[in-house]
Structure formats: structure tokens, C-alpha cells
Amino acid sequence: MKEALEKIQKILEKSILNYDKASIIISGGSSPTNLVHALNNLDIEWKKVKVMLLDERLVKENNEHSNEQYLKKNFLKIILRMPDIKKLEI
């Protein structure tokens, strides 16, 4: 996973350098937990990164199966560095 994490960091940093913004799509569910914990510890300008969730479920944020809620609870460091979260209203 270290190699993948380094690659992701380089891509995000290059995009921020070239375009002053970057984006990453994170899979929903528990599969990406280790990756997101590792991303959480990277020194990235998260305010310039659009973080999006890829998921087959479309549920309200307060639903127990909401990946947005899971991300907010478990990866606060990234969320606090994001200027705002855009979401699809259901």
C-alpha cells in the first residue's frame, strides 16, 4: 500500500502545482479504510482537493449506512481541511 499511497500523493501534489486544485474519488464501505487513514496523515493542501465518494448506495447522511457520515466521523483531519462538502440532495 505504501507504493500506492506515494503515487496518490504525487498525483495530488502535481495537480495542485499545475492547476491549483486536485480531486480524488474514494470508494464507499470499509474497503478503503486503511488507505483513507494513511491519506489522513499526508501533508497535502486538502483545501485544494475535492474529495468525492463513489458508492452504489444513495442514502441520507444520517442513515447508518451513509459513507459520508462514516468519512466525517473517521477522517476528521481531512474533513477539517476541506472548505466545504458538496453533496447530492436526495
pLDDT single digits (tens) 19-78? 999 998 887 777 777 888 888 888 888 888 887 777 666 777 778 777 777 777 766 556
Asked whether residue 8 carries a pLDDT value surpassing 60, the answer given is yes
The domain limits of the chain are 2-80
Sequence-separated (6 or more) residues with CB below 8 Å from residue 45:
16, 81
pLDDT of residue 74: 65
* Contact between 40 and 81 (Cβ < 8 Å): no
Please give the residue that has the higher pLDDT: either 3 or 46.
3
The amino acid present at 77, given as its one-letter code, is: K
Give the span between the Cα atoms of 74 and 53, in whole angstroms.
Answer: 14
pLDDT of residue 88: 47
pLDDT of residue 7: 95
Residue 5 half-sphere exposure toward CB, CA atoms < 13 A: 15
How does residue 90 score in pLDDT terms, banded at 50, 70 and 90? very low
